[in-house]
Amino acid sequence: MTALVALTVGAFGLVIGSFLNVVVARVPAGVSVVRPASRCPHCETPIRPRDNVPLFGWLLLRGRARCCDARISVRYPLVEAGTAIAFGAVAWWALQRTATTWALPAFVYLAALTIALALIDLDTLRLPFVLVAPAYPVSAALLGLASWATHDGASAVRMLVGGAVLWSLYRLLHLVYPAGMGYGDVRLSGVLGLYLGWLGWAPLAVGTFLGFLVGGLAGAVLLALRRTGLRSAIPYGPYLLCGAWLGAVAGAPLGEWYLHAMGL
């Protein structure tokens, strides 16, 4: 049953991945993700439906536009395939972790948001308000529904506490050293706090710590490779998201290991 659900959700991820390509390209430019319909980025010719099939359209066209023979970036099929894999993996993990399908929509939504925000931040050093702000009510509603359906009021309380705590921590750091991170990172931290808090106190603590650790290590590697300078801005959102997912997946066992090691 778990494998079937994961495969189904993964197949759905192909379609969402195609949409995420549109989101990543249009949202930073302030363009509607609905209109106009998909067009060739080189000659503006509308793309035929058969050429717009996720992943397979690019393969059948051999990476070149039918209208003008311009090369189509390999990033498009990679995002579609990556989203499918991510959705399938998240579905499998969520079912194993929560033992219910009620939480599945919330974590699949977070997976889609993660891919879109990470790519946009890498491209533009921005985490768009129009994507992050709606994530608060959407995430709270989906997680709250899962809590209600499973009669787990404690998880709903932890969710609210986690969101408030992580947002407050990042807001304090931003006030102390504004140049250290953008306010988009502060805004995103609250969303991630909702998820980590819902999962438990250990995921919240581990995810918070790993967000800083991954970001610090990535910055150090970029400095060592001379890809950035001490005063250069780096996209912190992907590392914050990575730390949160690591906390979600490994937070509980790491928390148990730590308490056992401390003899608690």
Its pTM stands at 0.92
Average pLDDT over residues 167-181: 89
Q: Read off the pLDDT band of 226 (50, 70, 90).
A: low
Question: What per-residue confidence (pLDDT) applies to 229?
Answer: 53
pLDDT tens per residue, range 61-84: 787 877 787 788 899 999 999 999
Measured from the Cβ of residue 160, the count of other Cβ atoms closer than 10 Å reads 16
Taken in order 58, 59, 63, 67, is the CA torsion positive or negative?
A: negative
Whether the predicted pLDDT of 231 surpasses 70: no
Average pLDDT, the chain: 88
Note whether 186 and 170 are within 8 A (CB): yes
Tokens (6 digits) for 169: 């921590």
Whether the predicted pLDDT of 153 surpasses 60: yes
From residue 31, give the alpha-carbon distance in Å to each of 28, 125, 128: 8, 18, 13
Question: What per-residue confidence (pLDDT) applies to 221?
Answer: 75
Q: How far apart are CA 130 and CA 156, in angstroms?
A: 25
Backbone dihedral region of 30: left (phi > 0), alpha (psi from -120 to 50 degrees) or beta? left
Residue with tokens 């504004």: 178
Q: How far apart are CA 169 and CA 12, in angstroms?
A: 36
Average pLDDT over residues 118-140: 95
Q: How far apart are CA 79 and CA 21, in angstroms?
A: 7
pLDDT tens per residue, range 199-211: 999 999 999 999 8
Question: What per-residue confidence (pLDDT) applies to 137?
Answer: 97
Task: For residue 236, give the 3-state DSSP assignment.
Answer: coil
With CA atoms as reference, report the closest residue to 238 among 252, 218, 224: 218
Where would I find the H helices in the chain? 2-26, 56-61, 75-98, 104-124, 129-149, 153-176, 183-199, 201-224, 237-261
Note whether 150 and 142 are within 8 A (CB): no
Question: What per-residue confidence (pLDDT) applies to 80?
Answer: 95
Whether the predicted pLDDT of 187 surpasses 90: yes
Average pLDDT over residues 46-64: 80
Q: How far apart are CA 157 and CA 175, in angstroms?
A: 27
Question: What per-residue confidence (pLDDT) applies to 233?
Answer: 67
